[in-house]
Amino acid sequence: MNHKKLKLLALLLFVLGLNALMAQAVLNVKEKTGTTTTINLMNVKSLTFVGGNLIVNKKDASSGTFAFLGIQNLNFSPGTGIETLRTAQSSFNIFPNPVKDVLHINDLTNDIVNQQIEIIGIDGKMILSTIFNPSENGISVYHLSRGLYFCRVLNGNTCKTAKFIKQ
């Protein structure tokens, strides 16, 4: 899931003052468990992105927290003009795992050529963003500290994620 796009969308909703258009607009958060939470956008004070979580702060001082990795999709509807953002099961392989210097990506569906690749830390912060070029010898992760990371492939409104360990 592209955190920058989500932040920009949330900012646009509030800055442009779409309150009149959003009287019936809702945010649907569908989790991978199958649970869907529907939130009326008129009741939302802010959306924040902290430590790998989406936090929905409501005007009544309550909030809802959703882990990015547990979200299957976010859907703003109706009348917001914002497309559904989806996460897909990984249809690509990364290797070696654990990795020491260079992370290789093997696309099983052949659709990540020239797509954006992001390396995300366990805290949810983006560490690296690049365009995937299959002719290169993978993505250098030599500079990363030891630990758990996520490799994310962004393709339009689809986000594929795989975990890897840096030695």
Q: Residue for token digits 């659709």?
A: 111
Residue 166 confidence (pLDDT) = 92
- 76-120 tens-digit pLDDT: 665 444 444 455 554 678 889 899 999 988 764 555 556 788 898
Residues, the chain, total?
A: 167
Tell me the C-alpha distance between 49 and 4, whole Å: 10
pLDDT greater at residue 101 or residue 8:
101
Both tokens assigned to 128: 């690296």
Both tokens assigned to 121: 């830390």
CA distances from 61 to 1, 42, 64, 127 (A): 27, 14, 10, 32
Which CATH code, of 3.40.50.1820, 2.60.40.3080, 3.90.550.10, 3.20.130.10, is assigned to 89-166? 2.60.40.3080
- 115-162 tens-digit pLDDT: 788 898 888 888 999 888 767 768 899 999 999 898 888 776 677 788
Residue 17 confidence (pLDDT) = 47
Domain ranges in the chain are 3-84, 89-166
Which CATH code, of 2.30.30, 2.40.50, 1.10.101, 1.20.1070, is assigned to 3-84? 2.30.30
Question: What is the 3 state secondary structure string of the chain?
Answer: CCHHHHHHHHHHHHHCCCCCCCCCCEEEEEECCCCEEEEEHHHEEEEEEECCEEEEEECCCCEEEEEHHHEEEEEEECCCCCCCEEEECCCEEEECCCECCEEEEEECCCCCCCCEEEEEECCCCEEEEEECCCCCCCEECCCCCCEEEEEEEEECCEEEEEEEEEC
Both tokens assigned to 120: 């995300």
